[in-house]
Amino acid sequence: MKFAIQDKLTGLSDYKEVFLMAKEIGYDGVELNLFQQPLNDHLTGELQAAIDSTGIPLTAICGGYRHWIGHFDESKRLEAVSDIQKSLKYAAQLGAQGIIAPAAYGMFSKSLPHQVLPREEHGDRIVLIDSLKRITEQAEKLQVTLFIEPLNRYEDHMLHTVSQAASLIKEVESQHLKVLGDFFHMNIEEADISRTIENDYSSLGYFHLADSNRQLPGKAHTDFRTPFQTLKRLNYEGYLSMECRIGEERRELLQETLQFLRGCLQH
C-alpha cells in the first residue's frame, strides 16, 4: 500500500514545492484537487515539471471537469463528460492512474428538506450509465481509469455505498472503471468498512482517507487499523490518499499522520 496527499493539504501553490514537501515527509504520491475546472496545457506542464524534479508521481486527479456526470441539466452533464474525456488525456500524459468523480456533489439530497426530486431513481441510473460508458470508452483507449466515488446521503442522492457503485461497473463492463472508497463517506454509509472492502474488493481501485469528523486520520473515532489489515491481507498495492481538513501546522501534522497510518499497517 502507498500513501498520498492531495496538493491542497500542503497549503502551497507552487507544484514543485508541493511535490517536494510530499517527498521530504515520506509520502508516495500527490493527488491533484482540481475542483470545477478541466486540466489544460499550462497546468499539465507545471505538474510534469514537479514530477520530473522530485520523482514523486501524480496519483490521480480529483476533479478536472465542470458540472457533474449525473447532472439534471443534460447540457451540463455532457459538458462534464467532455471535460473528463479531455482531462483523461492529460492524466495519461502525466502518468496518473486517472480521474476521480462522484455522480454529483451538493446537487440534491433526499435526507435534507428540499423540493420534489427532479428525476426518478431509474432516470438517475440511465444518465449515469450513459455518462460512464462515454467516459470509459475514452479511458480504455488511453489505458487510464475513471474512479467513481460514492458520497454520503447529505452530499448526493444517487450513489451512497460501494456496492451501489459496483453495480454500475458490472453494467458498464469496463476494466477502466473502478470505485473509490472514501473512509469518511464509508463511515457514514457502510455498516462495516472492512466487510465492504472484502465484499467488493474486485471493484475498488483507490481510497480516500479522512476521519469521522473530516479531519486527518487519527483525530476522531474511525477504525483504520482493521480495514488496513484487510487490505494488507488482500494484497492491495494501490494508493490511499488523504482528502480531509487540516490545521495550521501542516508539515508537522502530515508527518504525524503518516506515522499513524503506517502504524495501522502493523500487527
| Active-site annotation, residues | 149, 243
Residue in this structure with the C-alpha cell 455522480, named with its chain if needed:
103
- Amino acid letter, 234: L
What lies within 8 Å, CB to CB, of 232 at 6+ separation is 1, 265
CA-CA distance, 8 to 56, in Å (whole number)?
16
Residue in this structure with the C-alpha cell 451538493, named with its chain if needed:
106
- Amino acid letter, 172: V
Length of the chain: 267
